[in-house]
Amino acid sequence: MKTLAILGGTGKEGAGLAMRWALHGYRVIIGSRAEEKARTRAAEMNRELGGDYLTGLANADAASVADIVILSVPYGAHHATLEAVREQCAGKILVDLTVPLQPPEITQVNLPTGGAAALEAQALLGPEVTVVAAFQNVSAVKLKQLGQAVDCDVLVCADAPGARATVIELVEAAGMRGIDAGALKNAVAAESLTPLLLHINKTYGIQGAGIRITGLDDGK
């Protein structure tokens, strides 16, 4: 099994994915700017899972030993976090969950200067890193319901088809259906769906609105 480093794994969405992947057999490392915070959060999740599943390291150390790096941080920390791990991510896939929300208007689409957070990540990291956009439209509430499939499809965008296939495997391991959504430029659309879903949650008084792609045979 591959080793996964989740930078921002102390947050709600990152933690939910971390526990799901750990239970599926992946070696999972929780990353944080502060190593002690990462270790503490990993220990908390291990107690919740009832076993020794996760470890915690500083972001750069976590990225260095990982096969695949997952970035799950607020947009305000996006650029700085990537700058800090650029060297450690060379030659690897980086899965970017970031949505460029602009508080307090988080229910309105905000297009960043680079078009999408994932496109900005690719521009910053350069061709040595393969950026894949995924998981932007999945509710952390649903991810925390361990042992249950998540009623949401995951759009996976990247310029390399092989990288899309690799991340779709991670999606399925976490209990969801991965959808090949084409080139990384399409992350503009995927990221923009999140504020729309947040608006739906607020308007209808629900938690965890997600997306489903219809017309696929037997979920494939």
Tokens 């992350």 appear where? 187
Tokens 């769906």 appear where? 193
pLDDT at 153: 97
Question: 60, 50, 5: which is closest to 27 by C-alpha?
Answer: 5
pLDDT at 1: 85
Give the residues of the chain that fall short of pLDDT 70: 218-220
- Are 29 and 15 in contact by the 8 Å Cβ rule? The answer is no
pLDDT at 149: 87
What is the Cα Rg of the chain in Å? 16
pLDDT at 23: 96
pLDDT at 218: 58
pTM of this prediction?
0.96
The model's pLDDT over 127-150, given as tens digits with 9 standing for 90+, comes to 999 999 999 999 999 999 998 889
What is the domain partition of the chain in residue ranges?
Answer: 3-219
Give, in words, the CATH class of 3-219: alpha beta
